Amino acid sequence: MIQSANGRSANTWSRRLWRRLPYSCRKGLKKLLPAAAVARLREEDGASPAVPAVGRIQFGDFRRTTPFCRRYGYSRGKPVDRYYIERFLAQHEADVRGQVLEIGDNAYTQRCGGSRVTKSDVLHVARVHEGVSIVGNLETGENVPSESFDCFICTQTLNLIYDLESAMRHAYRCLKPKGVLLMTVAAITPFGREEQEQWNAYWRLTSPVMRRLAALTFGAEADVTVAGHGNVLAAASYLFGLADSELTPAELDVKDGGYEIVVTLRAVKR
């Protein structure tokens, strides 16, 4: 090995010179070199053939400061969070039976319960449409009946309620003994302009928060299952307003607790 005057090798100096070249220059030079040389240069860049070095990510369509859709992805198809919500409800459709309460409308009651449902009620703070049968407030408990329902479907609602513990107590109270709460909450999410104008989006809720709330209301020994859903690709796609169809099920199904989009909770009243 040739040594320079100060003891450093000529190879060391050549590596440093290569690293100081702009990325565009290195990319162009690699096209002119043999494959073996390109492989060595990738090692100098500190990157494997399939993974770009730090600072050299090709953002493509994602280099933007506005989403593709501000309505969660509805203009492109079904939002990413609905993939997880609807799969969760489908997995527990046997719980949707008897007298069922749902927030806003009864779409999921009809889809998952079918003939098992004997009575369907819809809770909303205002009579926004004819389908609302109970005008009440889950946070205060106003007009929410006690021990009346075999199943309570509560999707993406707790984020809009300031007093979480109170809302969970009333969700517990409205269930019959052995009644089931099927709840989903948002962890990583945008909020559309219409929702911000109409509601206050107070919280982003994680799996540990939901476990704690469930333990406080249903009891530490209750039959409670909490799960987080999502990963960095799914979360980024959701924030950009893409639809679930623009990702594959294999991509959506990967779970990474650091990037939960939706947290699901199933709890049985003792």
Domains and CATH numbers, the chain: 10-58 (no CATH), 80-268 (3.40.50.150)
If residue 183 lies in a helix (H) or strand (E), which one and from where to where?
A: strand 175-186
User: Does the structure show a pLDDT above 80 at 194?
Assistant: no
Cβ–Cβ < 8 Å for 122, 105 = yes
Residue 36 phi, psi (nearest 5): -65, -40
Using the Cα atoms of residue 243, residue 249, residue 255 and residue 256 in order, give the sign of their dihedral: negative
pTM over 0.85: no
Mean pLDDT on 95-122: 98
| Residue 7 pLDDT | 46
The pLDDT tens digits of the residues spanning 198-225 come to 778 899 999 999 999 999 999 999 999 9
Is 122 buried (19+), middle (13-18) or exposed (0-12) by CB count in 10 A?
A: buried
Confidence of residue 94 (pLDDT cuts 50, 70, 90): very high
pLDDT reading at 35 higher than 80? no
Amino acid sitting at position 221:
E
Q: Which of 49-53, 80-84, 153-157, 237-241 is predicted least confidently? A: 49-53
Does residue 23 register a pLDDT over 70? no
- Residue 256, pLDDT > 60, answer yes
Compute φ and ψ for 249, nearest 5 degrees: -55, -35
Q: Is 204 in contact with 159 (CB distance < 8 Å)?
A: yes
pLDDT at 103: 97
Identify the band that residue 90 occupies on the pLDDT scale cut at 50, 70 and 90.
very high
How far apart, in whole angstroms, are the C-alpha atoms of residue 205 and residue 226? 12
Position with higher pLDDT, 54 vs 207: 207
Q: How confident is the model at residue 21 (pLDDT cuts 50, 70, 90)?
A: low
Which pLDDT value is given to residue 8?
A: 47
C-alpha to C-alpha distance for 98 and 155, rounded to whole angstroms: 19
8 Å CB contact between 145 and 174: yes
Q: What's the number of CA atoms in the CB half-sphere (13 Å) around residue 187? A: 31
Confidence of residue 34 (pLDDT cuts 50, 70, 90): confident
Question: For 40-64, what is the mean pLDDT?
Answer: 69
For residue range 124-183, what is the model confidence (pLDDT) as tens digits?
999 988 999 999 999 999 999 999 999 999 999 999 999 999 999 999 999 999 999 999
* pLDDT score of 2: 38
Please tell me which residue, 87 or 28, carries the higher pLDDT value.
Answer: 87
Render 134-154 in DSSP notation, one character per residue: EE--TTT-TT--SS-EEEEEE
Average pLDDT, the chain: 88
What is the percent of the chain with per-residue pLDDT over 90, rounded to a whole number? 73
What is the arithmetic mean of pLDDT over 246-263? 98
Position 99, amino acid? Q
pLDDT for residue 4 is more than 50: no
Count of CB atoms within 10 A of residue 203's CB?
A: 16
